[in-house]
Amino acid sequence: MRGTNPTHPRVYDVRMGISDRFGFAAFTSGRTMMHGILAAVLSMAFLAAPAVETEAAPVFEDGSSLHIDINIPALRLSVYLDGEKIRSYPVAVGLPQAYTPTGRFTVDHAEWNPWWRPPPNREWTQGRVDTPPGPNNPMGRVKLFFSPLYFIHGTPESESIGTPASQGCVRMRNEDVIELARLVHEWSDATMAESEIDGILRSWRPTRHARFREPPTLEIRYDPVVVEGNELVVYPDFYNRGRTHSEAVIQALMGAGIDPNGLDRVQVRNVLDEARSDESVFRVEIRTLMGE
């Protein structure tokens, strides 16, 4: 299934026929000459277009330039500038019993060389004390605030990256979160200059805060079924939310501009059954799912 090589997936366009998309029987038996001419012209344009190479970009409508997208099952954070992906980083997210929240947020300020203060009234913080900035601080070099008790932050536990390991926050390698924070400062009209960041990073003190006058949007979602390049990718559903189903496959294909009408439903069910039994990331070429 992973190595088979039949025809390419079909893409939504006029070549598929109006009947294919809308179900109008009047178009299924023969096409008018005008429709044929139109299809031929549009086919030339679509054939010249590049194939889909990445997961479909999330849609943001708030007018800001910089956006951050986190897909929890993929354990990945992506940065978009004017709709184009410019960075992508592996992350750690919350444990199943301390899941990372989903939704749309804004990143409104940053704390460099942060302290870590145990959240009150939490079982897992019993006996823990405030930790000053330093190489063993759980927050790393910088934390970006998107909710009162949730942050994107660095970590000294780099081995946890790529796993659900935190108490709900999003962890990044220190070098990655520094790069991300610099991008946010650059594009969000921050109250701290780039030269100040350079000075802060020369040592672990002092702790400094920066506000973002034009805060970027942060979208956190839970999509275990996605399209990446020419593959359908099924990530482990480690929060057990039951999102690995046929409708998720259809939505992922449509989001990437691929026509789901040609899906072999039996093959899709077989693939999902295999993916659900596999605790690792499962990949399959989209063309193997098409009943052609």
- Do 77 and 139 sit in the same domain of this protein? yes
Q: How far apart are CA 236 and CA 227, in angstroms?
A: 15
Does 60 reside within a domain? no
36 shares its domain with 136: no
56 in any annotated domain = no
> What range does the domain containing 252 cover?
14-49+225-289
State the pLDDT at residue 263: 92
Provide the pLDDT for residue 46: 33
* Beta strands across the sheet bearing 282-285: 225-228, 231-234, 282-285
Tokens of 245: 């189903």
Q: Which of 163, 13, 182 is nearest to 73 (CA)?
A: 163
Tokens found for residue 206 = 């002092």
- Residue 143: phi, psi to the nearest 5? -130, 140
Q: What are phi and psi of 206, to 5 degrees?
A: -90, 175
Structure tokens at 92: 């750690």
Domain shared by 43 and 71, yes or no? no
CA pair distance 209, 290, nearest whole angstrom: 53
Verify that 121 and 193 share a domain, yes or no: yes
The pLDDT assigned to 126 comes to 76
Of 221, 254, 276, which residue sits at a domain end?
A: 221
Is residue 45 assigned to a domain?
Answer: yes
Global confidence as pTM: 0.78
CATH number at residue 139: 2.40.440.10
Do the Cβ atoms of 174 and 181 come closer than 8 Å? no
Q: Both 276 and 187 in a single domain?
A: no
pLDDT for position 55 = 59
What pLDDT is recorded for position 170? 98
- Within-domain flag for 59: no
How many structural domains is the chain composed of? 2
- pLDDT < 70 stretches in the chain: 1-64, 292
Find the DSSP H helices in the chain.
18-22, 33-48, 174-187, 194-200, 246-255, 265-276
Task: Output the pLDDT for position 231.
Answer: 96
Instruction: Look at residues 221, 251, 275 and tell me which one is the last residue of a structural domain.
Output: 221
Residues 93 and 210 in one domain: yes
At 155 the three-state DSSP class reads coil
* Residue 167 shares a structural domain with residue 231: no
The answer to whether residues 192 and 177 belong to one domain is: yes
